[in-house]
């Protein structure tokens, strides 16, 4: 991803409604299904500029937390946030032993052009999970939403729920929750992305920018409510696709956390 996009992300990800809304959903999923996992050994596989990594560190105080990313500029921003345990590598070849982590996060990573084989990346994440460990995954959804934003951030793929469930199972993981997200804003996102195909120019930047404060707060509150609904039932549409999956415990171990 271009350096200018890393800077945009770094500048807004602690305040922007999209990031805040997803944090509500991630917290509900982790607290509701695996409350001890984020307090254990955690890997952020594709940590970007470190916003979600810091959020998890402050909320859960994990025993061990490490972030990896392929972009040196992304890791530089992580260091500015005070993150020290960092590795520069891709998610298809993680420099960790089998069973090293209780929780792996991969938030908007494996859809990137830099990830040649998204299935291999999921298998690698499953490899470094301990038996009974958890994977929290977020991805862009629905090819119809492809627009100038995808080109700007070098997004190569968008996903469907059934597809992701199959990919997780093929990687040796059991899908526990798979849902679309940003459902309430789907018509607006669709209209905006379709228009961007016509109006954008080659080399245009992403559509990530801060809206006015009141609008930003309203959208974040809307997604907070949507996250509560998503915990109870799978939403049928959305610009994001979020999944929580588990690696099977060893025989004789407790399935419940």
Please report the pLDDT score of residue 229 as a whole number.
97
Residue 105: strand, helix, or coil: strand
Residue 113: strand, helix, or coil: coil
Task: Label residue 152 exposed, middle or buried (CB < 10 Å: 0-12, 13-18, 19+).
Answer: buried
Rounded average pLDDT per 10-residue block, the chain, 257 residues: 83 96 98 98 97 97 98 96 96 98 97 95 98 97 86 88 98 98 96 79 72 97 98 95 94 59
Please report the pLDDT score of residue 195 as a whole number.
84
The whole-model pTM stands at 0.93
Please report the pLDDT score of residue 148 as a whole number.
74
Please report the pLDDT score of residue 201 as a whole number.
64
Token representation of residue 19: 């990031």
Phi-psi region of 200 (alpha: psi -120 to 50; beta: other; left: phi over 0): beta
CA gap 80, 101 in Å, rounded = 25
In the block, tokens 């997200």 appear at: 181
At 66, give phi and psi (nearest 5°).
-135, 140
CA gap 11, 124 in Å, rounded = 31
> What is the CA angle 113-117-123, rounded to 5?
130
């Amino acid at each position: 991803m271009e350096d200018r996009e890393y800077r945009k992300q770094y500048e807004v990800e602690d305040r922007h409604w999209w990031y805040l809304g997803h944090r509500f959903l991630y917290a509900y999923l982790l607290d509701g299904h695996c409350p001890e996992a984020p307090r254990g050994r955690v890997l952020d596989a594709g940590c970007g500029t470190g916003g979600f990594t810091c959020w998890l560190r402050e909320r859960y105080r994990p025993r061990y937390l490490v972030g990896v990313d392929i972009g040196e500029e992304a890791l530089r921003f992580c260091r500015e946030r005070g993150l020290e345990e960092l590795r520069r590598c891709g998610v298809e070849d993680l420099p960790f032993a089998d069973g090293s982590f209780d929780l792996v996060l991969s938030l908007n990573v494996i859809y990137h052009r830099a990830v040649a084989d998204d299935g291999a990346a999921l298998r690698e994440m499953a490899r470094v999970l301990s038996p009974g460990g958890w994977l929290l995954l977020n991805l862009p959804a629905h090819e119809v939403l492809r627009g100038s934003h995808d080109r700007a951030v070098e997004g190569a793929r968008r996903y469907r729920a059934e597809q992701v469930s199959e990919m997780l199972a093929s990687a040796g993981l059991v899908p526990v929750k798979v849902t679309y997200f940003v459902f309430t804003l789907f018509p607006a996102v669709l209209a905006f992305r379709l228009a961007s195909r016509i109006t954008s120019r080659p080399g245009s930047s992403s559509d990530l920018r801060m809206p006015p404060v009141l609008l930003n707060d309203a959208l974040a509150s809307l997604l907070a409510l949507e996250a509560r609904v998503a915990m109870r039932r799978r939403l049928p549409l959305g610009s994001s696709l979020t999944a929580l999956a588990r690696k099977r415990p060893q025989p004789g171990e407790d399935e419940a956390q």
